Amino acid sequence: MNRHPADRRAAAGHVLPRRRFLQGTAGMAAMLAWPLGANAVVKESHRALPLSSSRVDNKFELTLARTQVNFTGTPASAITLNGTVPGPLLRMHEGRDVTISLTNRLDEVTAAHWHGLKVPNKMDGVPGVTFPGIQPGETFQYQFELRQSGTYWYHSHAILQEPAGFYAPLIIDPLVREPFGYDREYVVMLSEWVDTPPEKVLANLKKVEGYYNDRRQTLPELFAALKTAASSQEREAIWNERLAWARMRMDPTDATDGGSQWQFLVHGQRVEDNWTALFRPGERIRLRLINASAMNFFDVSIPGLDLTVVQADGQNVQPVKVRELRMGNGETYDVIVQPKERKAYTLFAATSGRIGFARGTLAPELGMEGEIPPLGPRPVRSMSEMAGAHGGAHGAPAAAAAPTAADPHAGHGAAPVAPAKADPHAMHGGMPMPGEMPGMGGMAMGSPKGADPRADEVKDRLAYADLEALTPMRLPAGPAKKIDMRLTGDMNRYIWSINDKKLSQAKFFEARVGERLEIRLINETMMEHPMHMHGAFFVVDNGKGERAPLKHTVIVKPGETITVHTSFDEPGPWVFHCHLFYHAAAGMVQAIVLK
């Protein structure tokens, strides 16, 4: 039933802000309407252009400049690519050489990082590490061969430019036909906006821990809990836990560094703009989901439709059906949905801290809207959940936490397992991409033993343990060099680090090109960290052996240890960092120097 939008929002318990979108870019408001039914009412909705309408090319020109935007009712300055936020989609083809010219019209150094792409080190786009950066007024040409396919994105890796608007989608079409079918596809880039300039946001976070947390637990709540406690022991436990949180200068509701000031967007469109992807009932729709948010995880669902995950971070996986998936910053997932009814469906992306949501619409006609589900309560963590983050993670890895009422997504990560045995026929010279593996052209849908018994199973939410690569991965033979990366931080001063050192203090890790690396990501902090590696993919140790999934970004939960394996095929320093933007800006960055 498709009721009037105002009625639906009231029924869902949401009051949408009365804001007017004044963004100065016609491209973001394109409305190339299909013929409408006789009874359709056209409202303020922005049609999503199907990917088929974009041109595949190998030469692109980008101009970076400051542009005035208005996402909140207040004019603000954004860093735009060709005048838009997000920037233009770059669509390429695997196997080709590409040239991307980036002209810097800012008054500061800039650079573009090609998130998830295997490129030459000097093209990776990290100023001061892989190259000097692009000076004001300069034009730099990125040139590299495309050795992979899938859904990716690009963004700034200079100063504080990414959350100011410098991010955009990047799609690489495959050389061979993909092992799944679909009729229509859309790019869905999730992001956020806050009018406060990024340098001020970082200063605020450093000034007061939880600066943007406007749902702190209060003294009246504490007194109420003590009053209703069933025993003196329970009252003591409540009091001790509150004191423990106070000593850490952290609140159990502080699951995210953002607050109510944040505006959440689907491809640059606010909730009330109603970004709409059109379909014909019965079509299979491929959604290329990208989390380009600076500081928020998204829990993505489409009520009434199952999401069939077919790619993770651009890599093919055994299809798995879920009702919801959590996306860390920097992660991408390709899902297929099949709406069979002639009605509107809501693409609902709730922030993991439940401070807000982004939404889009899948509909047969423009102007339609589906029900917006309740946002749900904001998660409240218990000290017991934090225990693994304070017990010293130098010993045995912490097991992946079981889902709890406080955090229903606690089981997202991969449980620690023994590493797969090295393949005696492993390829040398670095970790190959799936497209480089023998027999790739004959890859077929399904498991090698026949029909997958999971085909009709629908999971409530995706976990890394559910991901299984379609193509076996063979790492270099021989013993692995073991590296422990402890994710550390000091909430008192908002300092984040790796092995207790910020990038400016750290001694870089060293390895050899083609060497097999076993890396333990050990989270000793109270927050999740989406850890991203430049120059190589992680093989996530999730119990699937040589069919373990490839990912360039993995979420590590508080107190959790995740083991990954990797190998680099190009020398140079490769950056490794938390993709929570302000965590990286505050020091959670390291590098591996390959010789």
| Nearest CA among 384, 400, 403 for reference residue 562 | 400
Q: What is the pLDDT of residue 177?
A: 94
Statement to judge: residues 398 and 493 lie in one domain: yes
**Cα 521–526–531 angle (5° rounding)?**
35
More confident residue, 44 or 358: 358
Are 60 and 305 in contact, with CB atoms under 8 Å apart?
Answer: no
Q: What is the pLDDT of residue 455?
A: 63
What is the total residue count of the chain?
595
Q: What is the pLDDT of residue 420?
A: 35
Residue 236 in domain: no
Ranges 62-66, 260-264, 309-313: which has the least confidence: 260-264
More confident residue, 556 or 491: 556
| Per-residue confidence band for 414, with pLDDT thresholds at 50, 70 and 90 | very low
| Per-residue confidence band for 218, with pLDDT thresholds at 50, 70 and 90 | low
534 half-sphere exposure, CB direction, 13 A CA radius: 31
Judged against a pLDDT cut of 70, whether residue 537 lies above it is answered with: yes
Residue 467 in domain: no
User: Which residue carries 């100065």 as its tokens?
Assistant: 24
Statement to judge: residues 105 and 151 lie in one domain: yes
Rounded CA separation 463/326 (Å): 8
Ranges 55-59, 257-261, 283-287, 444-448: which has the least confidence: 444-448
Are 298 and 352 in contact, with CB atoms under 8 Å apart?
Answer: yes
Neighbour tally for 206: CB within 10 Å: 15
Give one DSSP letter per residue of 518-587, joined into a string.
Answer: EEEEEE-SSS-EEEEESSS-EEE-SS-GGGPPEESEEEE-TT-EEEEEE--SS-EEEEEEESSHHHHHTT
Q: Tell me the residue range of the domain where 527 lies.
A: 388-437+472-594
Q: What is the pLDDT of residue 242?
A: 65
Residues 290-327: tens digit of each pLDDT: 999 999 999 999 999 999 999 999 999 999 999 999 99
Judged against a pLDDT cut of 90, whether residue 237 lies above it is answered with: no
| Per-residue confidence band for 452, with pLDDT thresholds at 50, 70 and 90 | low
Indicate the SS3 state at residue 495: strand
| Per-residue confidence band for 478, with pLDDT thresholds at 50, 70 and 90 | confident
| Nearest CA among 285, 353, 343, 306 for reference residue 37 | 343
Question: What is the phi-psi region of residue 82: left when phi exceeds 0, alpha when psi lies from -120 to 50, beta otherwise?
Answer: left
Judged against a pLDDT cut of 80, whether residue 221 lies above it is answered with: no
Judged against a pLDDT cut of 70, whether residue 137 lies above it is answered with: yes
Indicate the SS3 state at residue 143: strand
Rounded CA separation 322/334 (Å): 12
Statement to judge: residues 176 and 46 lie in one domain: yes
Statement to judge: residues 312 and 396 lie in one domain: no
Q: What is the pLDDT of residue 527?
A: 84
Given strand 97-104, what is the order of strands in its sheet?
Answer: 76-81, 59-69, 97-104, 139-145
Question: What are the phi and psi torsion angles at 227 (to 5°)?
Answer: -65, -35
Statement to judge: residues 330 and 416 lie in one domain: no
Statement to judge: residues 348 and 393 lie in one domain: no
| Per-residue confidence band for 212, with pLDDT thresholds at 50, 70 and 90 | low
Statement to judge: residues 547 and 481 lie in one domain: yes
Q: What is the pLDDT of residue 281?
A: 98
Are 201 and 494 in contact, with CB atoms under 8 Å apart?
Answer: no
Q: What is the pLDDT of residue 490?
A: 76
| Per-residue confidence band for 446, with pLDDT thresholds at 50, 70 and 90 | very low
Q: Report the largest interatomic distance among the alpha carbons of the chain, rounded to a whole angstrom.
A: 71
Question: Which of 314, 346, 363 lies at the terminal end of a domain, its last residue?
Answer: 363
Q: What is the pLDDT of residue 374?
A: 94
Rounded CA separation 313/192 (Å): 20
293 half-sphere exposure, CB direction, 13 A CA radius: 33
Strand pairing class (458-459; 315-322): parallel
Percent of the chain with pLDDT over 70: 73
Averaged pLDDT of the chain: 80
Residues 547-557: tens digit of each pLDDT: 999 999 999 99
Q: What is the pLDDT of residue 479?
A: 79
Question: Which of 330, 363, 396 lies at the terminal end of a domain, its last residue?
Answer: 363
Residue 285 in domain: yes
Statement to judge: residues 44 and 160 lie in one domain: yes
Are 572 and 510 in contact, with CB atoms under 8 Å apart?
Answer: no
Rounded CA separation 457/323 (Å): 11
The amino acid at residue 374 is P
Rounded CA separation 567/515 (Å): 6
Rounded CA separation 574/566 (Å): 13
Radius of gyration of the chain (CA): 23
Residues 358-397: tens digit of each pLDDT: 999 999 999 999 999 998 887 666 655 555 443 333 333 3
Q: What is the pLDDT of residue 577?
A: 96
Residue 459 in domain: no
Residue 218 in domain: no
Are 475 and 325 in contact, with CB atoms under 8 Å apart?
Answer: no
Statement to judge: residues 407 and 296 lie in one domain: no
Statement to judge: residues 183 and 289 lie in one domain: yes
Sorted by sequence, the CB contacts under 8 Å of residue 295 that are 6+ apart come out as 163, 192, 256, 257, 258, 262, 329, 580, 581, 582
Give one DSSP letter per residue of 295-358, joined into a string.
Answer: S--EEEEBTTB-EEEEEETTEEEEEEEES-EEE-TT-EEEEEE---SSS-EEEEEEETT-S-EE
- Residue range 11-16: average pLDDT? 38
| Per-residue confidence band for 248, with pLDDT thresholds at 50, 70 and 90 | low
CATH number at residue 288: 2.60.40.420
Statement to judge: residues 47 and 100 lie in one domain: yes
Ranges 12-26, 127-141, 242-256: which has the least confidence: 12-26
Judged against a pLDDT cut of 60, whether residue 23 lies above it is answered with: no
Q: What is the pLDDT of residue 268?
A: 95
Residue 223 in domain: no
Residue 412 in domain: yes
Rounded CA separation 552/547 (Å): 16
Residue 374 in domain: no
Question: What are the phi and psi torsion angles at 392 (to 5°)?
Answer: 80, 100
Statement to judge: residues 13 and 81 lie in one domain: yes
Residues 139-176: tens digit of each pLDDT: 999 999 999 999 999 999 998 999 999 999 999 999 99
- Residue range 110-125: average pLDDT? 98
Ranges 84-93, 107-116, 179-188, 257-266: which has the least confidence: 257-266
| Per-residue confidence band for 254, with pLDDT thresholds at 50, 70 and 90 | low
Q: How many domains is the chain built from?
A: 2
* Helices and strands of the chain, counted as H and E runs: 6, 32
